Structure 1
Amino acid sequence: MNTILEQYKDKINGTFSFFDRMIIKGHIRQFFSTSGKGFFLSEQNVLLKDFSAYANQVTARIVSHVENMAVSEKRPLIYLTSSQASKEQAALQLLQDQPVDEGLICILSVVEYCQTLQPKKHDNGLLSLDTVNRKCKYYYFYFLDRHFGFMHVKLQTWFPFLIQVYINGREMMKHVFDENDISYQMYDNSFFEISDIAKAQELADRFDSKSLCRQLDLFAHKVNPYLDTIEKTFHQGYHWCVDQCEYATDVMFKSREALEDIYPSLVGRAFYDFHCTDIFSFLGRKLHHKFQGEAVSDYRKRPEGWRIKFKMKSNSIKMYDKFSCLRVEMTINDPKEFKVYKDVHHEDGTASKRWVPMGKSIANLYRYAEISKAANKRFLDSMQNIIPAKTIEKEINSICTRKKVEGRSYSGYNVWSAETFLLFEAVSDGKYLIRGFTNREIRHSMNRDNPDSARVKGQTSREFSKLRAHGLIRKIPHSRRYLVSDKGRRIMGALIETKRKIYPELAAK
């Protein structure tokens, strides 16, 4: 199996796989059940009719805490007039204008839609605490953290105080590498050079979701002063769930030029040879007749270059380039499409290990990594026998121009003509790969009129001379047989493949 990792190993430093972007949400689960809400109000001695006033007091307490936090940290608290404004760009600009080595960068406040709790009076006169959609104030806390690097925490200021944490795995690994004396170079959020790749991957594979939970709890307490009351009431805090997870495998080429040489061919292979249903193979799934959902492929031009993406429902795998890195990235939005091996508790009180649909619990992050890493590997393994497009382009141009050999001039090829395509296809036939071909075999395979006539024999001989002059075929010593040269295999193979895909009407002639 001649994959790109094997085929271009002399141009590749190695590969590194780890989480990229992760969006983790925290929920107070008891606020989503009738009994939980009732128990909380009872413990706080709050009647349903008084809940709105009580909730406003709690929100005011959170707002006051955030304002005091900005003052004590001496960092800006800015209100954004539009929820569509880029919070990240605003935070990065503030970091540039008001640098900080570690800690809080800024706090941004904005009004957005939310799900909150509100008393509702029914026709029978009874009240209930229902979930409704409204607008409320959110706070975005941007940090330059010692463990997570550039990150943010988003807090809803109204009940049930949902929290969202954005972290980037590459930012995390920067600090791990620093602590372990591993030097590296980055472009954007990708490593294109790591001094000890094996050790770096070993450290990445040690990632512990339990440690991550503890750190997330610390951030939750930092931004939400009401969390202590919730924990005293329910004896637990936020339940952390993975809302979106990206896991990327970076193939680190030794130079940008080395990647640019083959990247167009990689995109072409993925676009023309792969189908939308191939994502089932990449994800380790089988296409079943009961499958309900979309499987699509998407090919898009970005400012940085081409990106190709395969999507199954809301999960996807994509490939794109970042400087000298070829990145294959798996995104999991719906983990239930995959399975995890875990304890299942039965009604009779017993438990057994079973493969069950995977949930969003942060405890399953190890399984996210296993699934994504395997999918990325399958995608890369499918990229076999890639011919560098730029190298081929130069070689194709060379056979389009007139060539002089031993005082004799040979015209260039019109590589788009049907006659040239027919000749290239005939000599490139796989049945001639070992023994080679003769004049007679080629003129018969091209279905020419009167193939045994002197005119056709002479025409084929002249074509062989021209092929040899351009270095596309070579003569087997002491025989009348010819073999396609390595150069000929590259050029004619690329032209035949291109015509069959882009101009099938020419290939059919």
Structure 2
Amino acid sequence: MKLPQSVGEVLREHVVLENESIDRMYLNVYVPQLQRIGGVVWYLRGHLGQRFASTVAIAPKTEQFVAAIEKFAKRRGVDVVSFRKDQRKDDVTQEYLAKFEADEGVLYIGRAQEKARVVRTEKRHSTITGGTYPWVVDGSAFVNYYYFYCVDEDFGPFFLKFCSYFPYNAKLCLNGNEYAKCQLRKQGIAFQALDNGILSCADPKALQRICDELDATKIDGLLRKWLDRLPHPFDDKDRAAGYRYELSILQAEFALTQVLDHPVTGRVFFEQVIRENLDIGRPDQVQLIFNRRVTRRTPGRFRTRVITEGVTPSLHVDYKRSRIKQYHKESQALRTETTINDTRDFGIGRLLHNLPALRRVGFAANRRLLEVERVSHDCALGEEAFQDLQHPRQIAGQRVPALRFADPQVQALLHALLMFVFLPQGFTNKELRQVFAVLLGKCSGEIKPGRMSYELRRLRLHGLIERIPKSHRYRLTEHGLRTAMFYTRVYARVLRPGLAILSAHDDKTSPSPLHRTFQAAEKAVHSWCDNAKIAA
């Protein structure tokens, strides 16, 4: 078997199955009117008819809800499991799944104490009358949560957990890969499963179509279906008055799974990627991947983490409250996974109907990470392309000055371009000029707009940048990205350190094997010239 030599070769020639899918989704289930104190007060006074707003009247509703859960468990023969502190809920669920034989139903009900947002009534004193009065306030408390672990015929395993305290907010957790498996079974399409994905499929196009069809309507339908089956804290009167649960996105994972032909292919990929992309978590690189601009005021950490689990490491890139994780799944597939913990990091609302926009962000981030890895590892230029840049040229009747390798001005210019590779909206004359000046050790005002226009023209005619239509902005082309990476990397990693080694004259301070080899070669040449009576 021939081993792949580059990241690009792995992605181009060794991927046997590829699909994009929503992975895990964690959704907030809530009644919108009860998320603010004003809405709670209206519920208590306007809907329940209280003279003074007080949550004391809610206590019977809470007791009825808990009693309904216990009655449901007893009637259905469902176990109620009290989770211990630090107990892995997934392990318990797997035990119940192994024994579950029906198409759908409730596996078990879990109970755990967790911190929750609650609404309280506190006693306040009037400064006018001196009397007391109730006042509704937001607060937090450790209360019982009830987890309903279920299996749905369309979605597979999922859970819905309810807070047992008013306003009874809940959480829904589902898995898009499990949804895909259920749909493949229903359609009679043969497949082989990964732990959390698909290893092989008889109809890859059908698999991708199924993954694409998982949308907000289907997810909302899952919630409505099981709210009708499970104990509900809000009665018919509440729901008729509009107090109904809605969904918003707390966390969403968007996965690109690329099944590789051999386990060693994945190891080759990560060996190359880890070495070349340890700086990908820097703000300038993060912006390229997540399609968002980072400024000094942007909150959060921007970093790359390499975590080794077993033999193969995984790569983690953080941006605000979101991150990309890339790992070798079960030594069989490359999984690139964007996890969005706050949709507002990308200027997108949290309501479920924003899922299409969020999908575009997540899947595009996965693809951009792979593209950066591909180009950063394989940034070599052909001899002809390299020589074209070293000499002035005539392009479309216009003389184009050279971009000579190792020229300080050219190196600074191409380095500056890499600072803007992340921005999909490109850069302007002014933006590039400011970075270019800093790299040359000058103040931003020392580089004039006319000088920068000259450099932009030179870059554009060489094909390294292109002008964005109907704007005064430019963006880097793939050829430009490859050229800029080649120039900056070869200079920084080969030429500069190599010249430093060769120019050292003190053997004690420069014990480099390369330096000693050149010294030996120089002595041999001088000796030969002396023997041959040739002046060196």
TM over 0.5: yes
1:313 Cα deviation from its structure 2 partner: 1.4
Q: Is this contact kept in 1: 2:280–2:317, CA < 8 A?
A: no
Structure 1 position 336 matched with structure 2 position 344: yes
Q: Is this contact kept in 2: 1:230–1:237, CA < 8 A?
A: no
1:278 Cα deviation from its structure 2 partner: 1.3
Q: Is this contact kept in 1: 2:252–2:341, CA < 8 A?
A: yes
The runs of 5 or more residues in structure 1 that have no matched partner are 339-356, 389-420, 427-441, 459-509
Residue aligned with 1:360, SS = coil
User: Residue in 1 aligned with 2:326?
Assistant: 319
Distance in 2 (CA, whole Å) between partners of 1:5 and 1:102 is: 43
Distance in 1 (CA, whole Å) between partners of 2:215 and 2:314 is: 31
Distance in 2 (CA, whole Å) between partners of 1:234 and 1:303 is: 55
Distance in 1 (CA, whole Å) between partners of 2:145 and 2:38 is: 27
Distance in 2 (CA, whole Å) between partners of 1:231 and 1:303 is: 53
User: Residue in 2 aligned with 1:377?
Assistant: 367
Specify which of 138, 158, 178 is matched with residue 185 of structure 2. 178
User: Residue in 2 aligned with 1:75?
Assistant: 78
**What pairs up with 1:74-473 in 2 under 5 angstroms?**
74-82=77-85, 84-96=86-98, 100-124=102-126, 125-229=132-236, 231-232=238-239, 234-271=241-278, 275=282, 277-303=284-310, 305-323=312-330, 324-338=332-346, 357-384=347-374, 449=522, 452-453=525-526, 455=528
Q: Return the letter of the residue paired with 1:70.
A: A
CA distances 1:376-420 after superposition (whole Å, capped 9, x unpaired): 0011112227989xxxxxxxxxxxxxxxxxxxxxxxxxxxxxxxx
1:456 Cα deviation from its structure 2 partner: 9.2
Q: Is this contact kept in 1: 2:6–2:269, CA < 8 A?
A: no
1:153 Cα deviation from its structure 2 partner: 0.8
Moved more, 136-145 or 27-36: 27-36
Q: Is this contact kept in 2: 1:147–1:175, CA < 8 A?
A: yes
CA distances 1:315-336 after superposition (whole Å, capped 9, x unpaired): 1112111121101110111211
User: Residue in 2 aligned with 1:64?
Assistant: 67
User: Residue in 2 aligned with 1:393?
Assistant: none
Q: Is this contact kept in 1: 2:321–2:345, CA < 8 A?
A: no
Structure 1 position 51 matched with structure 2 position 55: yes
Closer, same or farther in 2 for the Cα pair 1:304/1:7, shift >3 Å? closer
CA distances 1:444-468 after superposition (whole Å, capped 9, x unpaired): x95753574355999xxxxxxxxxx
Q: Provide the aligned C-alpha RMSD in A.
A: 3.2
Distance in 2 (CA, whole Å) between partners of 1:279 and 1:318 is: 13
Q: Return the letter of the residue paired with 1:269.
A: E
Q: Return the letter of the residue paired with 2:339.
A: T
Q: Is this contact kept in 1: 2:73–2:80, CA < 8 A?
A: yes
Q: Is this contact kept in 1: 2:22–2:252, CA < 8 A?
A: yes
Distance in 2 (CA, whole Å) between partners of 1:378 and 1:102 is: 39
Distance in 1 (CA, whole Å) between partners of 2:293 and 2:530 is: 53
Residue aligned with 1:126, SS = strand
The runs of 5 or more residues in structure 2 that have no matched partner are 127-131, 379-493, 500-513, 532-536
Q: Return the letter of the residue paired with 1:335.
A: T
Moved more, 29-38 or 126-135: 29-38
How many residues matched? 388
Distance in 2 (CA, whole Å) between partners of 1:98 and 1:334 is: 35
Specify which of 14, 17, 31 is matched with residue 28 of structure 1. 31
Residue aligned with 2:295, SS = coil
1:219 Cα deviation from its structure 2 partner: 2.3
Distance in 1 (CA, whole Å) between partners of 2:254 and 2:233 is: 34
1:246 Cα deviation from its structure 2 partner: 0.6
Moved more, 122-131 or 214-223: 214-223
Q: Is this contact kept in 2: 1:142–1:153, CA < 8 A?
A: yes
Residue aligned with 2:244, SS = coil
Distance in 1 (CA, whole Å) between partners of 2:255 and 2:530 is: 57
Closer, same or farther in 2 for the Cα pair 1:263/1:109, shift >3 Å? same
Moved more, 96-105 or 143-152: 96-105
